[in-house]
Amino acid sequence: MSSNQVLDSAPDMATQLEHRSMYIGGEWVEAESGETFESINPYTGKAWATVPLAGPADVRKAVDAAQAALEGPWGTMSAAQRGGLIRRLAGLIEAAAESLAVIETRDNGKVIRETRSQMAGLPATYEYFAGAADKISGQTIPAPQTNFFTYTRREPIGVVGAILPWNSPLFLLASKLAPALAAGCTFIAKPAEQTPNSTLEFARLVHEAGFPAGVFNVLTGAGKTGAALTADPGVHKITFTGSTATGISVMKSAAEHIAEVTLELGGKSPNIIFPDADIDAAVNGAMAGIFAATGQTCIAGSRLFVHTSIHDDVVKRLAARAPQIKMGDPLEMATEMGPIAFSEQLEKVQYYVDLGVAEGATVTTGGQRPTSDGLTDGYFFQPTILTGVNNTMRVAREEIFGPVLAVIPFETEEEAVRLGNDTSYGLAAAVWTKDVQRAHRIAHQLKAGTVWVNSYRVLANNVPYGGFGQSGIGRENGLEGIDAYLQTKSVWVELTGESRDPFKLG
């Protein structure tokens, strides 16, 4: 169960743990087994809530509910009506943004300044796709036979199973759920076992908005719950955000019953600084790229390539600033970096730092857990900069998913591009330069789904997002995000009504 533990019985009431039920078929339910598990607050290292541990029977119940909704009132609703419900949901999210932010921060340790920003932006995502719902259309196609009228329809793919990550549950849910609802699909969300509470709280808003029962369902559990969801033949599409290793398993499971997949997976993104860049801006971008969200983001700029002529200056500036990052209670606005989300991830981060040193890297700053008062109970790790790194080291090739920056020097533009592309991943990249020709030239050469120029970690609901290579399949956000939840039907209408020879075509 990772950092969350199965409870054989109800929690001790003296602990006053909050409890949230699953949402299936428009009702709040417990697991068929009666089992629950704990959510751990990574700031305190202690349990703060319990949720049901869903099993195969619960998964089947959710799939049946989602299928019934497709065949019921949701399936007969017009696109404009769907859009109206999504807009109503957007308004409810706006009103509940603060409480959602607090719950998510308690679950994963992300600082409240960021979760507030994410929740404040969620309504716009739902509004965007609400407006797109009645813009979905097919086309007429001139048939080679003059006695036929042919056209296409864009129809919902069906029941969608979504497996969510623990770093930004509701932010990443929005890029899946909003277009799926606009397309007319029904939806089953399985949040990460470490962070189930904000998704369950969000389900209350869906219920209040008036969506028909079964349109949106939430299952809580661990790996076995997600495996049962991806393997269920009643699920027509799986959308997953998480590690590449798990994504491979998800894809294999979906293939067993020919379900479509959208996978947003890991990254080892190159952040490239040229000597003509605005160094102050580039250092800010490097800091934000790896230390924002405690480095727990797929698009983290974890490989910093710096031209040799400015390498020492950039490292000096980074090393001076990193220890100044204020760690502490993520619910306080003054806190700039919160804890790692759970204990196993903390151990993984420490493992990779130690591995980097063994490989020959130097810890320029950080490299261990802080010992300051107020930080020893939670899963904190110092902002860490590794120098003396080359691109063959495991710390430069494998995703760490923590506040660890590997700095790698380069000599030429060609070398920077070659090293940047020398990875199995391809989620994001950035280039810092004042040379507009170089900026475009390198942006075209870098093999990544998103390339920033003189910026980092900027996303929008109307701009497609996804990766190359082992960073995933498919795109989320933008109009491409709706396409992922639609399938095309071709319709042929015979115009003359004449009796025809059944053994002749046309």
Asked about 264 being catalytic, the answer comes back as yes
Tokens encoding 300: 């983290």
Q: For residue 454, what is the DSSP state?
A: S
Burial class (CB in 10 A: 0-12, 13-18, 19+), 148: middle
Contacts of 372-376 with CB under 8 Å at 24 or more apart are: 372/327, 374/328, 374/329, 375/327, 375/328
Q: Give backbone dihedrals phi and psi of 209, rounded to 5 degrees, phi first.
A: -70, -20
Q: What is the DSSP string of 161-222?
A: EEE--SSSHHHHHHHHHHHHHHHT-EEEEE--TT--HHHHHHHHHHHHHTPPTTSEEE----
Q: Give backbone dihedrals phi and psi of 213, rounded to 5 degrees, phi first.
A: -55, 135
Tokens encoding 501: 């020879």
- Give a three-class secondary structure readout of 391-452: CCCHHHHCCCCCCEEEEEEECCHHHHHHHHHCCCCCCEEEEECCCHHHHHHHHHHCCCCEEE
327: left (phi over 0), alpha (psi -120 to 50) or beta: beta
Question: Are the C-beta atoms of 221 and 193 separated by less than 8 Å?
Answer: yes
Task: Output the CA torsion sign for 427, 433, 436, 438.
Answer: negative
Question: Are the C-beta atoms of 191 and 184 separated by less than 8 Å?
Answer: no
- Choosing from 260, 298, 399, 413, the catalytic residue is 298
Asked about 298 being catalytic, the answer comes back as yes
Residue 155: which residues within 8 A CB-CB, separation 6 or more?
A: 184, 486, 487, 488, 489
Question: Are the C-beta atoms of 107 and 196 separated by less than 8 Å?
Answer: yes
Helix, strand, coil % over all residues of the chain, rounded to 5: 40, 20, 40
Distance CA 258, CA 184 (A): 20
Pairing between β-strand 159-163 and β-strand 186-190 as defined by DSSP bridges: parallel
* Range 251-266 burial, b when 16+ CB lie within 10 A, else e: bebbeeeebbbbbbbb
- Choosing from 260, 264, 336, 476, the catalytic residue is 264
Active site residues: 264, 298
